């Protein structure tokens, strides 16, 4: 379904050319799910925008790699061709539902529009809209069609956005921090809903989040991203059972369910994500890594295979 090889996205800024996405590979089969997790600023949102053809060009530009979607390289597509694919074949769900909804149009009209330009007769279309709203767990779909976004709670708005994303039966759903703006209980319900719908519909799901718990709940596989590159990829269960990369281990230690109670916080990893304008040489994690060796300060580690379907970008595993 989706095969990304060596993707590099650059961003021209007054501080120089930055590389928010570097050497990224992604494989996602039909009906499968992959979570991409990392701290804010690690490049995961720029990755999502690059895959959907939505990076602001200029100042951003894909400078290397390929994005194959159903065998077709998306890098060569014009904006017009990309627009045709978005919505019909690929759908994106953003963090803040109000950015995806038009405040002056009723819910019914917006979901109707999401069904595409030739949706059939009006009564049939209204049935389809109600079915979609019902599928995402919204009560009284008929009444809801007449409501406006500001009349709904944040969780209900995000359900409407999910209904719109699924309206045309996309093959790939890309969700970028879809629950960050919601409270914890609503978050879990939305994540469960996304997982259920993805399985029912057989779509591939790429879920991007800063929260390892969120991606592990919804996705079979997890890719951990740091400073623009993926540093570990594994099945969600394997990753939780045995995180390999020192950064992944730090993320695990920050999960409240695995360590102490309270809010999710990534602050247990000392230091900060490096400034893209001043990236350290060698392994970008070395200034924060308790296991850094001399080599880590000069050589960027490759992705190393560690058994079936498992990879880690760390010199510790070169011969291990
Ligand atoms: Fe730490 Fe070195 Fe591994 Fe980077 S390559 S994570 S610095 S041990």
Q: Above pLDDT 90, what percent of the chain?
A: 59
The strand ranges marked E within 259-319 are 304-305, 311-312
- In this structure, which residue's CA is closest to atom 7 in ligand 1? 286
Higher pLDDT, 180 or 244: 244
Q: Is 309 close to ligand 1, i.e. is its CB under 6 Å away?
A: no
- Kindly give the distance from the C-alpha atom of residue 282 to the centroid of ligand 1, in angstroms, as a whole number: 9
Cα–Cα distance measured from residue 29 to residue 197, given in angstroms and rounded to the nearest whole number:
16
Res. 150: pLDDT tops 90? yes
What local confidence, expressed as pLDDT, does residue 256 receive? 66
Residue 109: pLDDT band (50, 70, 90) is very high
What local confidence, expressed as pLDDT, does residue 94 receive? 83
Ligand 1 mutation target, pool 38, 281, 283, 298, most atoms within 8 A of CB: 283
Q: Three-class SS string for 227-259?
A: CCEEEEEEEHHHHHHCCCCHHHHHHHHCCCCCC
- In this structure, which residue's CA is closest to atom 3 in ligand 1? 314
Long-range contacts of 52-55 (CB under 8 A, 24+ apart): 52/82, 52/86, 52/90, 52/92, 52/174, 53/77, 53/79, 53/82, 53/85, 53/86, 54/92, 55/9
- In this structure, which residue's CA is closest to atom 5 in ligand 1? 314
Provide the edge-to-edge strand list for the sheet that holds 2-13.
Answer: 16-28, 2-13, 60-69, 72-73
| 3-state percent helix, strand, coil for the chain, nearest multiple of 5 | 35, 25, 40
CB-CB contact of 187 with 126 (8 Å): no
Q: Is 315 close to ligand 1, i.e. is its CB under 6 Å away?
A: yes
Q: What angle do CA 143, 145, 149 make, to 5 degrees?
A: 110
What local confidence, expressed as pLDDT, does residue 178 receive? 87
Res. 263: pLDDT tops 70? no
What local confidence, expressed as pLDDT, does residue 315 receive? 97
pLDDT digits (tens, 9 = 90+) for 188-220: 888 888 888 888 888 999 999 988 888 888 899
| Helical ranges in the chain per DSSP H | 44-51, 79-88, 97-100, 107-114, 122-135, 141-144, 154-166, 184-201, 212-218, 236-241, 246-253
Res. 122: pLDDT tops 80? no
Q: Choose the weakest-confidence range: 59-68, 92-101, 158-167.
A: 92-101
**Dihedral angle, C-alpha 308, 314, 319, 320, nearest 10 °:** -70
Residue 260: pLDDT band (50, 70, 90) is very low
Query: Phi/psi at 206 (nearest 5 deg)?
Result: -115, 110
Q: Choose the weakest-confidence range: 160-164, 254-258, 298-302.
A: 254-258
Cα–Cα distance measured from residue 265 to residue 50, given in angstroms and rounded to the nearest whole number:
28
Res. 265: pLDDT tops 70? no
Nearest-CA neighbor of 169 among 214, 209, 131, 138?
131
Residue 266: pLDDT band (50, 70, 90) is very low
Q: At what angle do helices 122-135 and 107-114 cross, to 10 degrees?
A: 100
Cα–Cα distance measured from residue 185 to residue 114, given in angstroms and rounded to the nearest whole number:
28
Measured from the Cα of 284, ligand 1's closest atom is: 4
pLDDT digits (tens, 9 = 90+) for 9-30: 999 999 889 999 999 999 999 9
pLDDT digits (tens, 9 = 90+) for 73-93: 998 888 888 888 987 899 989
Q: Is 289 close to ligand 1, i.e. is its CB under 6 Å away?
A: yes
* Burial environment of residue 248 by CB neighbours within 10 A (0 to 12, 13 to 18, 19 or more): buried
- Kindly give the distance from the C-alpha atom of residue 295 to the centroid of ligand 1, in angstroms, as a whole number: 9
Q: Biggest alpha carbon distance in the chain?
A: 69
Residue 118: pLDDT band (50, 70, 90) is low
Which secondary structure element, helix H or strand E, spans residue 178, and what is its range?
none
Nearest-CA neighbor of 215 among 45, 29, 44, 34?
34
What local confidence, expressed as pLDDT, does residue 270 receive? 85
Please tell me the pTM assigned to this model.
0.89
What local confidence, expressed as pLDDT, does residue 172 receive? 94
- Kindly give the distance from the C-alpha atom of residue 299 to the centroid of ligand 1, in angstroms, as a whole number: 10
Instruction: Identify the residue whose tokens are 């309206």.
Output: 167
Provide the edge-to-edge strand list for the sheet that holds 33-37.
Answer: 90-93, 172-176, 204-209, 33-37, 221-226, 229-235, 311-312, 304-305
Strands 60-69 and 2-13: antiparallel
Res. 289: pLDDT tops 70? yes
Query: In the predicted model, what is the mean pLDDT of the chain?
Result: 89
What local confidence, expressed as pLDDT, does residue 137 receive? 87
């Amino acid at each position: 379904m989706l095969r990304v090889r060596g993707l590099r996205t650059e961003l021209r800024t007054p501080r120089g050319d930055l590389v928010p996405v570097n050497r990224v590979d992604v494989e996602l089969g039909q009906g499968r799910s992959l979570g991409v997790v990392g701290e804010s600023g690690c490049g995961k949102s720029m990755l999502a925008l690059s895959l959907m053809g939505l990076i602001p060009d200029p100042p951003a530009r894909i400078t290397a790699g390929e994005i194959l979607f159903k065998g077709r390289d998306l890098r060569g597509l014009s904006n017009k061709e990309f627009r045709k694919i978005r919505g019909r074949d690929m759908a994106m769900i953003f963090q803040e539902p109000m950015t995806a909804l038009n405040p002056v149009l009723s819910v019914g009209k917006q979901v109707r529009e999401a069904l595409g330009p030739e949706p059939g007769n009006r009564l049939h279309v209204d049935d389809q809209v109600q079915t979609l709203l019902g599928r995402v767990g919204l009560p009284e779909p008929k009444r809801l069609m007449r409501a406006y976004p500001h009349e709904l709670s944040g969780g209900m708005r995000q359900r409407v956005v999910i209904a719109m994303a699924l309206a045309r039966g996309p093959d790939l759903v890309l969700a970028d921090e879809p629950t960050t703006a919601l409270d914890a209980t609503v978050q879990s319900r939305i994540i469960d809903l996304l997982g259920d719908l993805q399985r029912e519909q057989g779509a591939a799901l790429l879920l991007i989040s800063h929260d390892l718990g969120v991606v592990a709940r919804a996705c079979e596989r997890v890719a951990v991203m740091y400073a623009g590159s993926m540093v570990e990829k594994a099945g969600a269960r394997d990753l939780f059972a045995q995180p390999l990369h020192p950064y992944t281990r730090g993320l695990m230690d920050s999960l409240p369910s695995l360590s102490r109670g309270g809010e999710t916080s990534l602050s247990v990893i000392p230091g900060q994500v490096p400034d893209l304008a001043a990236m350290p040489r060698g392994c970008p994690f070395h200034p924060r890594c308790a296991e850094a060796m001399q080599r880590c300060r000069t050589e960027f580690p490759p992705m190393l295979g560690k058994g079936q379907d498992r990879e880690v970008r760390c010199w510790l595993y070169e011969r291990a």
